[in-house]
Amino acid sequence: MRYTSGHIPFIAQHFERLKKTASVLKFKIPADLSTEKEIEIKVEQLLQKNGIKGDARVKVILFRNEGGLY
């Protein structure tokens, strides 16, 4: 995703794709990433923590916990 001018363009489409993919893979989306706004907040926090000011590219990756039957 691109982060530009203080927001993520097409966040609704990115979020919808994330939800569909998680559903197909039977992943549970973490509560702190369960809305478009929460994703934008987390991205802003990450950029600020890493001292990035301005535009950036961000990739969201979900991992499955180990164990269990897939």
Instruction: Give the per-residue pLDDT at 66.
Output: 74
Helix%, strand%, coil% for the chain, nearest 5: 45, 10, 45
* Stretch 49-55: mean pLDDT: 93
Residue with tokens 């993919």: 21
Q: What's CA 12's distance to the chain center, in Å?
A: 11
Residue with tokens 């809305």: 35
pLDDT(70) > 90: no
* Stretch 7-23: mean pLDDT: 94
Q: Confirm if 43 and 7 have CB atoms less than 8 A apart.
A: no
pLDDT(12) > 90: yes
Three-state SS at 57:
strand
How is residue 26 written in tokens?
């039977």
